[in-house]
Chains A and B, each alone.
Chain A
Amino acid sequence: MAIAQAIARRVGVFVLSLLGATVVVFLIVQALPGDVAQATLGMGATPEQVEALRQRWGLDRPALVRYGSWLLGLAQGDLGQSYLTGQSVSGQIAPRLAVTCWLVGLSMPIAVLASVPAGLAAAMWRRRWQGAVISSLSQIGMAAPVFFTGIVLVVVFSVRLGWLPANGYEPLLGPGGLDLAGWASHLVLPVLSLVIVQASLLSRYVRNGFVEVLAEDYLRTARAVGWTKWRALVRHGLRNAALSIVTVIALQIGAMLVGAIIVEQVFALPGLGSMLLQAVASRDLPVVQGIAVLLVVVVLAISLAADLAYVVIDPRLRSREA
Chain B
Amino acid sequence: MAPRTRRQRTLTHGLTVLALIFGLTVMGACAGRPAGPDSPTLKTLTVGATAEPDTLDLTTSDNAAIPQLLLYNVYETLVKLDSEGRVRPLLATAYELSEDELTYTFRLDPKAHFASGSPVDGDAVVASLERMRQALSATIQAQMAVIERVWAEDSHTVKVELSHPSNKWLYDMTSTAGIVIDPAATDLANQPGGSGPFQFSYWIRGDRVVLSRVGDYWGTPGRFDQVTFRYFSEPNAMNTAMLSGEIDVISDLTSPSTLPMFADDDRFQVLEGTTNGEVVLGFNHARAPLNDLRVRQAINYGIDRQAIIDTVWGGKGQLIGSMAPPTDPYYEDLSQAYPYDPERARQLLAEAGLGAGASLSLRVPTLPYATGAAQVIASQLSQVGLTVVVEELDFAGRWLPEVFLNGDYDMTIVAHVEARDIGKFADASYYWHYDDPTFQDLIARADQAGPSEYLDLMRQAARRLSEDAAADWLFLFPKLVVVAQGITGVPANATSLSFDLTTVAARG
Interface residues of A (CB under 8 A from B): 32-35, 38-39, 41-46, 49, 84-86, 92, 95-96, 106, 109-110, 113, 151, 154-155, 158-159, 162-169, 171, 174-175, 180-185, 187-188, 191, 265-271, 274-275, 277-278, 281-283
Give the chain B neighbours of A159 by CB distance below 8 A: 240, 243-244
A168-B31 Cα distance, complex, nearest whole Å: 18
B18 within 8 A of A: yes
With A32-B397, A84-B55, A167-B241 known, 19 other A-B pairs at CB within 8 A are A33-B401, A34-B394, A34-B397, A34-B400, A44-B139, A46-B138, A86-B55, A92-B205, A113-B19, A151-B240, A155-B240, A158-B35, A162-B245, A165-B35, A166-B35, A175-B201, A184-B25, A188-B29, A269-B207
Q: How far is the CB of B66 from chain A (nearest CB, A)?
A: 12
Main secondary structure of the interface of A (DSSP, over half): helix
Known: A34-B398, A270-B204. A167 touches B237 (CB 8 A): yes
Q: How far is the CB of A281 from chain B (nearest CB, A)?
A: 7
Give the chain B neighbours of A274 by CB distance below 8 A: 206, 233
Task: Decide: A271 and B206 in contact? CB cutoff 8 A.
Answer: yes
Q: How far is the CB of B202 from chain A (nearest CB, A)?
A: 5
A278-B51 Cα distance, complex, nearest whole Å: 10
Known: A162-B245, A268-B233, A282-B54. A86 touches B189 (CB 8 A): yes
Chain A residue at minimum C-beta to C-beta distance from B51 = A278
A218-B200 Cα distance, complex, nearest whole Å: 69
Q: How far is the CB of B203 from chain A (nearest CB, A)?
A: 9
A39-B244 Cα distance, complex, nearest whole Å: 36
Q: Number of B interface residues, CB 8 Å?
A: 52
Task: Decide: A275 and B236 in contact? CB cutoff 8 A.
Answer: no
Q: Could you show 6 A-B contacts with beta carbons less than 8 Å apart?
A: A33-B394, A43-B431, A44-B139, A162-B244, A268-B237, A274-B206
Give the chain B neighbours of A278 by CB distance below 8 A: 52, 206, 233
Give the chain B neighbours of A166 by CB distance below 8 A: 35, 237, 240-241, 243-244, 246
The 3 A-B pairs at the shortest CB distance, nearest first, are namely A270-B206, A185-B32, A184-B28
Task: Decide: B400 and A35 in contact? CB cutoff 8 A.
Answer: yes
Chain B, 64-97, contact with A by CB distance < 8 Å: what is the 0/1 string? Answer: 0000000000000000000000000000000000
Give the chain B neighbours of A171 by CB distance below 8 A: 204
A45-B22 Cα distance, complex, nearest whole Å: 53
B330 within 8 A of A: no
Give the chain B neighbours of A265 by CB distance below 8 A: 233-234, 237
Give the chain B neighbours of A174 by CB distance below 8 A: 204
B208 within 8 A of A: yes
A85-B203 Cα distance, complex, nearest whole Å: 14
